[in-house]
């Protein structure tokens, strides 16, 4: 049986993180993350880039997050992260549907988008954390 691969375009929107608990799903340790598609996302004080990201369901991706500002930022993607499989080594970096970065920090999150996390526009946002 052939697996159905869905190509998705995720539009990054200004939205609040979900208030319900977010459970992450573990990706298989055998996943070929060394050959995964890299997706660079830069967070800054007034937003983040790129504004659209394309994912293929069932294929490994690495979210390469960079906080270019001096203060901390949260990358909020509750619906996407809850439906995607996340590498076990990265699961501790995903809390409540968001990934927290401190000033100038980088993080790599290994994910496998599923059909439930692709195929439609999913709200994602970056928010600056104030001390």
The tens digit of pLDDT for each residue in 52-73 reads 787 888 899 999 999 988 888 8
Instruction: Name 88's Cβ contacts closer than 8 Å, sequence gap at least 6.
Output: 26, 27, 29
Residue 120, number of CB atoms within 10 A of its CB = 12
Give residue 123's pLDDT.
59
- Name the percent of the chain lying above pLDDT 90: 26
For residue 42, what are the CA distances in angstroms to 47, 72, 101, 103, 113?
9, 12, 11, 12, 20
Q: What is the pLDDT of residues 105-116, one digit of tens each?
A: 999 999 998 877
Strand order of the β-sheet with 98-101 is: 94-95, 98-101, 73-76, 125-128
- For residue 16, what is the DSSP state? P
> Residue 40 above 90 pLDDT?
yes
In the chain the domains, ranked by start, together with CATH numbers, are 27-128 (2.60.40)
CB 29 within 8 A of CB 63: no
Residue 20: band (very low, low, confident or very high) from pLDDT cuts 50, 70, 90: very low
Average the pLDDT over 28-41 and give the result.
Answer: 85
Give residue 27's pLDDT.
79
For residue 89, what are the CA distances in angstroms to 102, 108, 111, 116?
19, 10, 11, 22
Instruction: Name 20's Cβ contacts closer than 8 Å, sequence gap at least 6.
Output: none
């Amino acid at each position: 049986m052939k697996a159905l691969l869905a190509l998705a375009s995720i539009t990054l929107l200004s939205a609040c993180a979900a208030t319900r608990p977010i459970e992450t799903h573990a990706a298989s340790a055998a996943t070929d993350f060394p050959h995964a598609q890299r997706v660079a996302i830069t967070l800054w004080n007034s937003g983040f880039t790129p504004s659209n990201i394309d994912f293929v369901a069932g294929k490994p991706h690495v979210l390469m997050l960079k906080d270019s500002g001096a203060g901390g930022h949260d990358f909020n993607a509750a619906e996407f992260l809850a439906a995607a499989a996340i590498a076990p080594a990265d699961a501790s970096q995903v809390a409540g549907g968001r990934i927290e970065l401190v000033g100038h920090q980088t993080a790599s999150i290994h994910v496998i988008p599923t059909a439930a996390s692709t195929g439609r526009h999913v709200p994602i946002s970056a928010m600056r954390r104030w001390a």
